[in-house]
């Protein structure tokens, strides 16, 4: 009996009692004879009582799910509390309908063709997104937002953060990560120290009354990044912690590496980290109120000196 038939057998045997959680992790093995396998399994398992759905599809051309199909299934999943979607490359537009009213946690990662996400679920508490920065329409109930920008800092620099933050008035934790290699020419052009740079622009005023913790990983001297940080300091009156990490969250550190050395940083990356520290000193330090704890994370001084 091949894997597809075994999976059918298992799901059908349990369908009478219902599923609380379902995790499907599918790799590109020649075990699926038709394009209907995934659709059939989801229709067997995704019923009104399901609470957690974890769908991960890796390099599989035979198994696909579209945004429309997923939206249809979710409309029937009134008890769903957690949804994870990884490497679902057939998703172009992801819309989370309002009917899964108990949905509180959403993870979307590495869906390479995704162009937009619209969330209508009324009680979503936490959203963790990894991928290219795309238009996001988020519900106002969101309290934790984690964005891992995989495709480069230039995406982070130009993204309309002020518009996004206005959608989530109850946000308490914001984490932005960007760890792709620096495009030196691009960052030089966009830098707050660049020739084309003038005074910092003021983002449209909007008070963030709930946000307490902001973490920026891969912080650089890009003008828009500095402007966003200043905006948070001036408008997030409940802010308690601000962390600006000029390194990557994914770098190997000497404290846990086999050879006792940090992962080497290129000259361009070290130069940008140095400029980021200058930007903090010139534009940010003076705006930090006494009620906010600021932590600036620098590259390791032993392994990656900033002396160029």
Q: Where are the alpha helices (DSSP H) in 184-266?
A: 184-190, 223-235
Q: What is the pLDDT of residue 246?
A: 87
**What are φ and ψ of residue 28, in 5° steps?**
-80, 70
Q: Yes or no: say if 176 and 150 are a contact pair by the CB < 8 Å rule.
A: no
Mean pLDDT, residues 191-200: 66
Q: Indicate if the pLDDT at residue 194 is higher than 80.
A: no
In terms of phi and psi (left: phi > 0; alpha: psi -120 to 50; beta: otherwise), the region of 122 is alpha
Mean pLDDT, residues 212-225: 87
The Cα 103–Cα 96 span in angstroms is 10
The Cα 134–Cα 114 span in angstroms is 8
Mean pLDDT, residues 183-196: 60
Q: Is 260 or 73 the better-scoring residue by pLDDT? A: 73
- Which range has highest mean pLDDT (13-27, 183-197, 264-278)? 264-278
pTM score, whole prediction: 0.79
List of residues 6+ apart from 192 with CB closer than 8 A = 200, 221, 222, 223, 226, 279, 283
Q: Is 41 or 111 the better-scoring residue by pLDDT? A: 111
Q: Indicate if the pLDDT at residue 214 is higher than 50.
A: yes
Q: What is the pLDDT of residue 118?
A: 94
Q: Indicate if the pLDDT at residue 289 is higher than 90.
A: yes
Rounded to whole angstroms, what are the CA distances from 261 to 179, 255, 266, 268, 308?
19, 8, 15, 19, 19
The Cα 105–Cα 1 span in angstroms is 36
Q: pLDDT-derived band of residue 59, with 50, 70 and 90 as boundaries?
A: low
Mean pLDDT of the chain: 80
Quick one: DSSP state of residue 285? Answer: G
Mean pLDDT, residues 27-52: 71
Q: pLDDT-derived band of residue 70, with 50, 70 and 90 as boundaries?
A: confident
For the chain, give the percent of residues with pLDDT over 90.
28
In terms of phi and psi (left: phi > 0; alpha: psi -120 to 50; beta: otherwise), the region of 129 is beta
List of residues 6+ apart from 101 with CB closer than 8 A = 78, 121, 122, 123
Q: What is the pLDDT of residue 41?
A: 79
Mean pLDDT, residues 220-235: 86
Q: pLDDT-derived band of residue 1, with 50, 70 and 90 as boundaries?
A: very low
């Amino acid at each position: 009996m091949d894997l597809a038939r075994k999976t059918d057998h298992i799901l059908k045997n349990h369908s009478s009692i219902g599923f609380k959680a379902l995790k499907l992790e599918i790799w590109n093995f020649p075990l699926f004879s038709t394009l209907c396998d995934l659709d059939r399994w989801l229709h067997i398992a995704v019923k009104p009582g399901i609470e957690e759905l974890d769908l991960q599809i890796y390099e599989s051309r035979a198994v696909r799910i579209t945004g429309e199909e997923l939206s249809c299934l979710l409309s029937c999943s009134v008890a769903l509390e957690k949804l994870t979607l990884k490497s679902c490359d057939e998703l172009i537009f992801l819309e989370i309908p309002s009917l899964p009213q108990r949905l509180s946690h959403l993870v979307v990662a590495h869906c390479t063709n995704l162009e937009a996400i619209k969330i209508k679920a009324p009680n979503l508490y936490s959203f963790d997104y990894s991928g290219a920065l795309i238009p996001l329409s988020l519900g106002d109930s969101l309290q934790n937002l984690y964005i891992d920008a995989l495709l480069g800092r230039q995406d982070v620099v130009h993204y309309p953060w002020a518009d996004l933050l206005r959608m989530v008035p109850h946000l308490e934790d914001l984490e932005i990560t960007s760890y792709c290699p620096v495009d030196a020419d691009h960052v030089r052009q966009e830098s707050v120290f660049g020739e084309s740079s003038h005074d910092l622009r003021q983002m449209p005023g909007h008070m963030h009354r709930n946000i307490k913790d902001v973490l920026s990983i891969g912080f650089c001297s890009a003008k828009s990044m500095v402007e966003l940080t200043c905006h948070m300091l001036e408008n997030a009156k409940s802010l308690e912690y601000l962390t600006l990490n000029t390194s990557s969250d994914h770098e190997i550190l000497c404290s846990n590496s086999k050879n006792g050395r940090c992962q080497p940083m290129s000259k361009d990356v070290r130069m940008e980290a140095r400029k980021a520290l200058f930007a903090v000193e010139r534009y940010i330090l003076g705006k930090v109120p006494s009620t906010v704890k600021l932590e600036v994370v620098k590259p390791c001084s032993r392994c990656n000196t900033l002396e160029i």
